[in-house]
Amino acid sequence: MELFDFYRKDRWPHVFCPGCGNGTVMNCFYRAFNDLGLSLNRTAFVGGIGCSSRIPLYINSDALHTTHGRAIAFATGLKLASPELKVVVFTGDGDLGAIGGNHFIHGCRRNLDMTVICINNNIYGMTGGQASVTTPHDFLSTTTPSGNKEYPFDLAEIAVAAGANYVARWTTRHVHELTKSIKTALQKKGFAFVEIVSQCPTNFGRRNKMTDPTQLLDWFKESSVRRDKARATAVDHVDLNIAGQITVGEFVDRNRESYGELIGVVKHG
């Protein structure tokens, strides 16, 4: 299949701002999906509310555009009702980690058989640039004009602790690694979670003196630390994410029974 065939051309033009990382994520996802020879006719895409949650509406396949924070809840019902479908969720840091936080945790705990791709732009990009649960400490937003005094959630570590079978985090700078991780996630049984730290020059970048998208990509490059290296060099259990670093890599890859297997709805192997 040609990559161009993935798009719903009747939904153009898209709503993404110039320089947004969502286009890079879509490109990496489509390449991974295509390389695996998966069928759009046997895949359903689910999104909540937010910039990244609109991605399913641009894919030439069946899609659910759900209420804010409820994408995983809707995807759960869809997968249990139609276990033959591959279910892919596109969500953002606010949709997943804030209003949808409990659904996220329990989706990981149940190890539901779905692929969840979270595009983390460190801010509420669609609603005006307010601080989100992943806004880095001391960074600026419309609701933290003197710097964010809270510390951010580490979504990938939460997914590991809650029980997801596969967890990885990359940035939009790491396109080759990201594409490879998406391939792994799409083939993984159980809950597969890929977090992607992405640029938002409109709302995050311009408030933090990085209005040019390339500045944000350079920041990703300078701040990213491979997880294996971070663990080897961390001193006194310093949390590198809180210290301004972005820990990237594969966090866990295991094979616990999926929820569908446990209740006899899905059989693997």
Q: What is the pLDDT of residues 36-95, one digit of tens each?
A: 999 999 999 999 999 999 999 999 999 999 999 999 999 999 999 999 999 999 999 999
- 16-252: CATH topology: Rossmann fold (3.40.50)
The per-residue pLDDT for 21 is 96
- Predicted local confidence at residue 103, as pLDDT: 97
pLDDT value, residue 236: 46
Inter-helix orientation angle 22-35/175-187, to 10°: 50
Q: What is the pLDDT of residue 269?
A: 44
In the chain, which residues have pLDDT < 70?
1, 230-244, 266-269
Q: What does pTM read for this prediction?
A: 0.93
Q: What is the pLDDT of residue 237?
A: 47
Domain ranges in the chain are: 16-252
pLDDT of residue 129: 87
Cis? peptide before 13, omega within 30° of 0: yes
The pLDDT of residue 229: 73
β 246-253/166-171 pair status: antiparallel
Sheet (strand 166-171) strand order: 62-65, 43-47, 86-92, 114-120, 191-197, 166-171, 246-253, 224-226
pLDDT of residue 4: 78
Q: What's the confidence (pLDDT) of residue 128?
A: 86
